Copies of this chain bind each other. A is one copy, B any other.
């Protein structure tokens, strides 16, 4: 048993600060463990000894005989260090510090928290918290928490398969309570507060190894650790994360709450997409996705067939397919013909298939049309919509749908736009049949999209597909960088540093009679603005050009003129999540629209093309405005060359290729300028 898994496997739990004083927080875990029938040893620790709610108490943790798997520390902040020492002394592998008064309060608290972590690490103790609400396993009835959720008389308490892990205890248990209200089955709820030692992400990773766990849901405030994210994704279990602080306002609020550092949210978005982790923006969405994660069916593609008893729901579903980034299946002619035999004339046999309310008088309509859709290879996912159907009608529909789901192995999600009082047994029937259900088509499709995100095939991204380049010297200039990039497979203009005016003229002649001359001056970042770039100089103009540029205090580079093309920027830099590769349309698109796309390295096959396609102005490369299409394939190769080249560079660098000119199709992409800076690792 790993230390962390004591959160759900503990066979003995010490409650440090246990009391039977009514209303006291230190009473609650005792209450909960007793009420819900925890099978292990309950060890209340209270300096007064005696009993707590009839359970023999110990004056000190060190008095306890036998192993203690988990300690829950619920004493005031100033007494927490002593409690941690006791845990170390007693050989406890894991302690939850529920107490507040640490990093969330400012500098002093941050120092206090660092001290706790140091003590614990030295003593081989892992810590959850501080400033958290504890953890619960619905399966093993471990209730190391004071959440009011378990004080409610009517809280459902059954085994479950969904793992909820949240930095915010209030949101985590709040979300879990809403999940229970929806009839979902959380198996584990863990809050990790300030994430001082063990992080929420580590707990998720640990839970991904639990065989019964079918889905992992997390709420994070801190920027996630990329290595942990990767191993979590590699577990193969579906994961959805709600990461708050997305916006500027949210980021400021997060910083003041847990001191979380802001990250470039779009880099995180890209990373999660690369790893097949679903990102949601609200608790509701998290629960919608969780519901789909309870069931095992996964789509083999993004193509959706909608079958509906209401034309209106069908239209809403079609809108939602597009919003969710899925595709409406183009049904085969055979399917359409078969449906025409089945569907009433006032229905529709194209997708969305409207079987109309006639299904109420002829339930076989559902079976027959589902059979057609299940058999059509153009269908990966089925969304079944129905409105205001009452009890017996829902039952018939559920029977048809569950038969179809079993037969076809394709996920079916239900959009049932009708109150539960119309069909009180429907939720249980749908769950029994393995059919996630939602009140609206849009929500069903959001969940379907999540299923596709977690199941779409991903090539391994753990190892780059080739050797890297040596890192440039910190003061590497344009010629060194271009040489390095050329060695890595990139195209750079022909040319070199010239030795003087005469050499410059000779080289211009060699390069075809017109060339570019550039000043290479360390520290001169805005070369063009400083007059350091002369484009199109002739052999005759070369000596004067040389003189001007040399006067700027550095070397002079003479290069061939690149043909016309579309200007792009390409960059690679260290981010809080690892090295990130960026591509964007140059000039105005970058400056005015911030039109860039990102990927964490390493790239997987197809990533480079996808990055380019994601740009809002991508059409520009495809020959908009009557110009020839640009060589996007060459740009994609360049992205891959850059990705490989920088893979082993030490953290804290920024490489900017600006501009990269993408020539007409088949003619390549040329790096016209390159700059490199080394800094402390960026805080983003």
- Interface, chain A (partner B; CB < 8 A): 100-101, 104-106, 109, 131, 147-149, 151-152, 154-155, 166-168, 170-171, 173-175, 177-178, 180-181, 219, 221, 242, 244-250, 252-254, 256-258, 281-284, 309-323, 328, 345-346, 348, 350, 352, 354, 356-357, 386-390, 393, 417-422, 439-443, 587-588, 591-593, 616-617, 619-620, 624-625
Q: How far is the CA of A541 from the CA of B354 in the complex (A)?
A: 68
Is B421 a contact of A154 with CB atoms below 8 Å? yes
Q: Hey, which chain B residues are within 8 Å of A345, CB to CB? A: 105-106
Which residue of chain B lies nearest to A620 when distances are taken between CB atoms in the complex? B592
Known interface pairs A174-B417, A315-B245; A352-B253 also in contact (CB < 8 Å) = yes
Q: Which 9 A-B pairs have the closest CB atoms?
A: A168-B312, A170-B310, A250-B319, A174-B387, A174-B417, A170-B387, A177-B419, A181-B419, A257-B311
Contact of A177 among B252, B323, B418, B624 (CB under 8 A): B418
Asked if A310 meets B253 with Cβ closer than 8 Å, knowing A316-B244, A421-B181, the reply is no
Per the bound structure, the CA–CA distance linking A101 and B320 in Å amounts to 28
* A588 and B257 form a contact (CB under 8 A): no
Whether A249 contacts B322 by the Cβ 8 Å rule is yes
**What is the minimal beta-carbon distance from A251 to any residue of chain B, in angstroms?**
8
Neighbour of A284 across the interface among B311, B348, B443, B625, CB < 8 A = B443
Nearest-Cβ distance from residue A143 to partner chain B, whole angstroms: 14
Q: Is the beta-carbon distance between B250 and A316 smaller than 8 angstroms?
A: yes
Other 8 A-B pairs with CB < 8 A, given A131-B346, A281-B323: A177-B417, A177-B422, A178-B417, A178-B418, A180-B421, A244-B319, A245-B319, A247-B321
Contacting pair B388 A313 (CB below 8 A) = no
Q: Are B314 and A257 in contact (CB under 8 A)?
A: yes
Q: Is the CB of A250 within 8 A of B318?
A: yes
Chain B min CB distance to A378 (Å):
14
Q: Chain B residues near A254: list those with CB within 8 A.
A: 315
Neighbour of A171 across the interface among B173, B316, B625, CB < 8 A: B316
Is the pair A282, B388 in contact by a Cβ cutoff of 8 Å? no
Please name the residue on chain B nearest to A616 by beta carbon.
Answer: B593
B390 close to A257 (CB less than 8 A) = no
Whole-angstrom CA separation of A256 from B312 in the bound complex: 11
Contact B625 A591 (CB under 8 A): yes
Tell whether, in the assembled complex, residue B245 and residue A422 are in contact, meaning their CB atoms are under 8 Å apart: no
Q: By the criterion CB–CB under 8 Å, are A346 and B315 in contact?
A: no
